Structure 1
Amino acid sequence: MTSTSTPPGLARFNDLEEHTALAVLHEACASTAWGKRLIAARPYATADDLYAASDAATATLTAEDLAEAMAGHPPIGRPRSGDPASAREQRGMAGASDELKAEMLELNLAYQEKFGHVFLICATGRTGEQMRDAAKERIGNSPEQERETVRTELGRINRIRLARLVEEDARP
């Protein structure tokens, strides 16, 4: 089914039973629609094929699908206990000052009050200050602008998480 040039993690993912593959994808993105679209397009010959399918699926997510995806993300500055992906991705807040953490908490609450969902940003490689500044800037967006910004950020997060799946063992 998969060629010898297919990365081992991707080959394992291609070979997983559907329910197991959906569980693996749910760890990357909590949107059921996104996961089902990626499953339907298996097998993937290359990581780029998987990323392209992810981008296409992310582009078609409805407002409800986006809400489901965002529900799987903890607020910035409060990674989920026992979730290594969350802690790794939010590393930029780990060494932040108490003042910056308090400011981020206030921004998270104000953002959630305005938009009705968690502030979603691809935190990988960003400092706490960069995340704070992005939250300050984005809180001024219209709901329509912010929905598209969230879609873009979700796509970035999904690609990073899928890259880990391709590079590592695909078993849950």
Structure 2
Amino acid sequence: MTSTSTPSGLARFNALEEHAALAALHEACASRAWARRLLAARPYATAEDLYAASDAAMADLTTEDLHEAMAGHPPIGRPEPGDPASAREQSGMAGAPDGLKAEMLELNLAYQEKFGHVFLICATGRTGEQMRDAVKERLGNAPEQEREIARTELGKINRIRLARLVEED
């Protein structure tokens, strides 16, 4: 039997005042356009409805909006102090050997120089070696191709962060 009631975490999100909901969405993604679109579609009946709205908003972001979203992410291996989401998501780099961390720093810088934005990957569950291999591979992409890969990765990150936002009490 399927429940027709909205899960409590999602109901809590639906009930937030606009400024609080925007702040919560901004924690998930730095794009103001993405957050406004999700806010405008409230209330959500299911978490899947929220994720679908996130995916649609992500697909519609302009290049400028996408850059704004990516700017909210620290480089892999260097989460900002006080940013538990990035630290948790990048935990595969936390215990990496110093040599791998140094290599990742160099690769991050090369990537940023080539594409003009931080290397973005859904790091949850990935090892430091997997992230290093991904950045090495993606350095060979054309800018347009890489922008769309980053958009896809950002969509995955947003789904994970939204799931944490609306999880049950």
Poorly superposed stretches of 4+, deviation over 3 Å: none
Task: Tell me the equivalent position of 2:62.
Answer: 62
Task: Tell me the equivalent position of 1:166.
Answer: 166
Residues 26 and 35 in structure 2, CA contact (< 8 A), matched pair in contact too: yes
* Cα 1:94/1:71, change in 2 over 3 Å: same
Task: Tell me the equivalent position of 2:98.
Answer: 98
CA RMSD of aligned residues (A): 1.2
Task: Tell me the equivalent position of 1:27.
Answer: 27
Q: TM-score, normalised by structure 2?
A: 0.96
Unaligned runs of 5+ in 2: none
User: Which segment drifts farther, 13-22 or 152-161?
Assistant: 13-22
Cα distance in 2 for residues equivalent to 1:117 and 1:79: 15
Task: Tell me the equivalent position of 2:86.
Answer: 86
Task: Tell me the equivalent position of 1:119.
Answer: 119
Residues 127-149 of structure 1, C-alpha deviation per residue, up to 9 Å, x if partnerless?
00000000000011000000100
Q: How does 1:35-54 map to 2 (within 5 A)?
A: 35-54=35-54
Cα distance in 2 for residues equivalent to 1:7 and 1:136: 41
Unaligned runs of 5+ in 1: none
SS at match of 2:68: helix
Whether 2:108 is the aligned partner of 1:134: answer no
Task: Tell me the equivalent position of 1:157.
Answer: 157
Cα distance in 2 for residues equivalent to 1:111 and 1:92: 19
Residues 31-90 of structure 1, C-alpha deviation per residue, up to 9 Å, x if partnerless?
000000001111000000000000000000000001100110000000111211111000
SS at match of 1:30: coil
Identity %: 86
How many equivalent residue pairs?
A: 167
